[in-house]
Structures are given as C-alpha cells and as structure tokens.
Amino acid sequence: MKKFQPRSGFVVQALRFALDPNVTQEQRLRSHCGAARAAYNWAVSWVVASWWQRKAEASYGIGEEELTPWRPWSLPALRKVFNEVKKTDPRFADWWGENSKEAYSTGLANAAAAFDNYATSKRGQRQGKRVGMPRQKSKHKARLACRFTTGTIRVEPDRRHVTLPRLGTIRTHESTRKLQRRIANGTARILSATVRFERGRWFVSFQVEIQRAADRAAARPDVAAGVDLGVKCLAVIADSQGTVRFVPNPAHYDGALTQLKRLSRRLARRRGPDRRTGQEPSGRWLAANTERNRVHHRVANLRADALHKLTTGITAEYGSVVVEDLNVAGMLRNRRLARKIADAGFAEIRRQIAYKTDWTGGTTVVADRWYPSSKTCSNCGAVKAKLPLHVRVFICDACDLVIDRDENAARNLAALAAAVTTGTGVAGDPGVPAPKPREADQKTRATTRSRKATGGRAGGATLPHQRQQETRDRHQDTETQHALR
C-alpha cells in the first residue's frame, strides 16, 4: 500500500479525542471491531491453507508445476475473494451486512500488511526482530480497532460530536474545537478515522492533512540543544549558547506503586477467571480489576501528557536537537532499572522529537550509540578511561573542570550538532573513528578470577560459559551507563 504524500506546505497529523458512546453505539463499535478481526482471521486462514496444501502435495512427490497455485495476499486480491464468499461463507453469511464495509477492509488490510512484513523479514529486507508467520487473532486478546477511509467522516460544528459511517453521530468526551476550527478555515482535511478501545474507554483518531502554520517554526532556529536522558533527571537540556535546564523525572508509576500493590493484593484474594476450567470471574473480582486498571490508565495518561509537553517545548524552541541512540530494549533487561526506565519513556521521547522537528522545520541529530558523552570533557575534549555509575560529578584530569555528570553529557551532545554539520573531527562525526579509551578490541582476555577457576591453565584460557558470562556483564554495564548518563 502506497504511503500518502501530503501537499506542499502540509503535514499529516493525527488528532485523538475520547468518545462517550451510549449503550447502542458501544455495541456497534464492538461489532465493527469484531468484524475487522473476523476478516483478518479469514484472510490468514485462506492464504495459509494454500501453503499447507502445497507442502502436503510436495511430500507425495508431486512436481512443482502441478502443485496448488500460491494464493495472493495483496489487499485488492483479498478484497475481491472476500466479496465473493462473504454471502455464502457460514462465518459471515448471517451478519456481514450489519457493519460497514470499512470494518472488513480494515481486517484485510492488516492481513496484507502482516504477510508483507513476514515476506520481507524472511528475505532479510526488514530491520529489527524476525517476523513470524501471521497467526489468527484471539477474541479474548485482540485489540478492538477499526479504520474508516470512505463514507461520512466529519466533525460536527457544535464541537462535541463526530459522525462516522454506519455508527452515526457520537458524542465526544472533550471538545473538538482544535480540529473543527481548522476545518472551518480550510487549513485541514480529514483523511481517515480510526476508533479504538484502550485504557478503559473509546477513542477516535483522525488522520488529518494540516497546513503548516508560519508561526510553528522554532523560536530559536539557529540554536542547537543536546538532550541527555536519565532516571534521576528525566532530561538535561543544554544549548549551544551555554544555557542548561534540568527536567526532573515525575516518576508517575513510582508515585502510584503503593496504591497498585494494595489493589493487586485485594484482586488476588477474589475469584478470577480461569479459561482452563471455564470458571467465570466473580462480580467482586470485576469491580476490583476495574479499580486497579483505572490507576494504571491514569499513570499512562499522566506519562503521555508529560512527555508531549516536554518534547513540544524542546522542538518549539530549538532548531536542532541532538538525542542519543539508546539501546532501550537492552537496558530493560537490567532488573534493577527496568521499571524506572520503562516509566521514563526514553524511546517515546526520541520518537516524538523526531517527528515534531519535522513540523517546525528543525533537524534531529542522533548521536552514535557508543559516543562517550558522559566520559568526554565538555571544556577540553579529554576522554576518561572509566567513569563508574555512582560518580555523579565529572572531574577532568586535564583541565580540572568540575561539573555535574549529566550536564557535561548534555553539553557534549549540544556541541555534536555543529560537529556533525561542519565536520570538526569530534567523536561521533561521520567517518571519524570513535576513541577506545580502554584499548578495547574483540579479544576476550582471562581475568584473575577466571585464571583461578581454570587452575592456572596455560595462557589463562577461559571456559566457554565463562567467556559468555563476561561478555554479558560487559554489555550490561555499558547499557546501564547509557541509561544513567
């Protein structure tokens, strides 16, 4: 599916609003989302059936030319076959007409995308983790979502209602004036709408083509800022003019941890569901689960609000923003810091800065993952060989600079913006080799502890499991340093 290209001077933005549907409208919403899941499962079973049929025929010695043809998984092909079978297939014949055609198109589009991801991943053309074969979605675990691209999609002039195909007019929990004002002025156009159930309530997200306002440019387009993320301070922002700002970590999850523990203990004492035995949850369990989830939802909303305010303030002020390429997935394997790192939202901060700088016409610079921002002196450029995590004050051995560790890292990141664009040779520039203060290489040397374990073996050779443990320890130390930098 081709990606939509906005017109010149426009950007594609999503605006989300909470809904307050009545009982009938909520039933229709769930029906549309269930129809999307059913169409997805049909597409997966229809395509995969030909794969298993070919495999069975090949086991009997049938030639390649006589095997069952491959079934296509493109969206037009799936939609054509689905329209032919929906009136006769017992899975859809009795109720397919109750929902909009966009609900079934949503499931078919998701299935086509899943097969494309699987094919490109298997060929080695997709980054990230290996994508497995598409599987059917469970009725109990699948997320409720449905997308509308055609039909009546509008925001009502009263700014408290939205109209969607086959669902009618639904009241919104919050005012839609931010979008309705732009539509009335002709500076916005709705492309699609997606309804989704998450965090205990229904939301509608409008994909909108919005004209970029002239005043959305950064307030200081010639100033670069380095953003150093951490746990103690969520962000330390240092700009190229010498100003430094510390943003404390709100730690929303830690603030609600005592309440969550109490509610979880109460939930554990009540009779919950058991799919193995068919046991239904008690009413008291449902009430306790709802109350606990409400706390989780509030924490998630507070975190999202704080991160958006932080990233919007940064991109609205600075023309260039430097962020680090942190291995967040690796840092989450550290059991001592996983909860605090997940609560901070490092990856979300970088993602929001990246697309918001595009809106303001700015630039996002990503520092190399191994750039020693914490161990490099921001005054003279000297690099320390070691800087343990418990040392929170950076003391330079060359120029006697004494500075906060996080502030020093943020200043180095701010200086990196000019280095990348002008090529000054500072560590982290494209084509400039990174320093190796520890004289590190790819050889695994035996430590004193391992030599004792080997009984003084010649050359101090280590056993395979010892080498693996040493490698894991080194990686964990490096990832933890990046987390607390």
> What ranges in 123-194 are assigned the alpha helix state H?
177-185
Number of other CB atoms surrounding residue 466 within 10 Å: 17
3-state DSSP assignment of residue 31: helix
Catalytic residue among 102, 239, 324, 479: 324
Catalytic residue among 228, 317, 343, 479: 228
Whether 228 sits among the annotated catalytic residues: the reply is: yes
Distance CA 227, CA 322 (A): 6
3-state DSSP assignment of residue 277: coil
Distance CA 106, CA 110 (A): 6
Whether 324 sits among the annotated catalytic residues: the reply is: yes
Contact 479, 372 (CB under 8 A): no
Read off φ and ψ for residue 69, nearest 5 degrees. -60, 150
Tokens of 233: 């301070």
Instruction: Give the residue carrying structure tokens 């490109």.
Output: 120
Catalytic residue among 102, 239, 317, 406: 406
Q: Closest Cα to residue 411, out of 290, 197, 241? A: 241
Instruction: Give the residue carrying structure tokens 């997805």.
Output: 40
Query: Where does 118-175 show beta strands of DSSP type E?
Result: 145-148, 154-155, 161-164, 168-171
Give 260-264 contacts, CB < 8 A, sequence gap 24+: 260/292, 260/295, 260/296, 263/288, 263/291, 263/292, 263/295, 264/292
DSSP class of residue 458 equals G
Tokens of 93: 């014949």
Read off φ and ψ for residue 248, nearest 5 degrees. -65, 155
User: Which residues are annotated as catalytic?
Assistant: 228, 324, 406
